[in-house]
Chain A
Amino acid sequence: DSGVTQTPKHLITATGQRVTLRCSPRSGDLSVYWYQQSLDQGLQFLIQYYNGEERAKGNILERFSAQQFPDLHSELNLSSLELGDSALYFCASSVEGQGKNEQFFGPGTRLTVL
């Protein structure tokens, strides 16, 4: 158990819909990272937040957005869903914002878009 929690574990929805994925980092970690893992693209960095502020952006679509709340939990919002958005979405957390520190991954949310 990494100490990072993600909900829900599974999510099945239809094209065009909007979903919210939730992540609670390890106690004491200020940084939260979101990753997408699909069969054809592998594990890809989406976005990082540090203490409530966006720190780094990766291959995140405009239809996707994220935020980190004062209690440090984070949410990833996916809208206008397409079939190709079906993937595992992982959240990771680390102590500091520079990313060199170990990132601890949650168990992931499996999103299926039908």
Chain B
Amino acid sequence: TQLLEQSPQFLSIQEGENLTVYCNSSSVFSSLQWYRQEPGEGPVLLVTVVTGGEVKKLKRLTFQFGDARKDSSLHITAAQPGDTGLYLCAGFSGGYNKLIFGAGTRLAVHP
């Protein structure tokens, strides 16, 4: 069974700080996705990383896919209160149809 482990579970920081969230697995994934979920809403896709070693940037967010395609990280520079939310990593399993989610990192950015 493919599992995705995220760390840390919770992160509470001040506005302007940098942070990194990790997503690790013992299995190889063809691609990994990162979602952000806000209270009362469904997850929203931020990025998909496909190639080992790939780095993608989305404004202040930098996503990296490990060379072996078993892990990924999300780095946020100069965090803002609007970044608050649950960050989920997810990977496809079983021929692309089943999306496996990590437990998530709950981020709180305080003004």
Contact = CB atoms under 8 A, between A and B. Distances in A.
A58 interface: yes
A100 interface: yes
Given A42-B101, A42-B104, A44-B101, A99 B43 contact: no
Interface string A43-86: 11100100000011010000000000000000000000000000
Interface residues of A, number: 24
A88 to B, nearest CB: 9
Given A43-B88, A43-B101, A99 B96 contact: yes
29 contacts: A42-B101, A42-B102, A42-B104, A43-B90, A43-B101, A43-B104, A45-B99, A45-B100, A45-B101, A48-B97, A48-B98, A55-B97, A56-B95, A56-B97, A90-B42, A97-B97, A98-B96, A98-B97, A99-B92, A99-B99, A100-B31, A102-B45, A102-B48, A103-B45, A103-B99, A105-B43, A105-B44, A107-B40, A108-B41
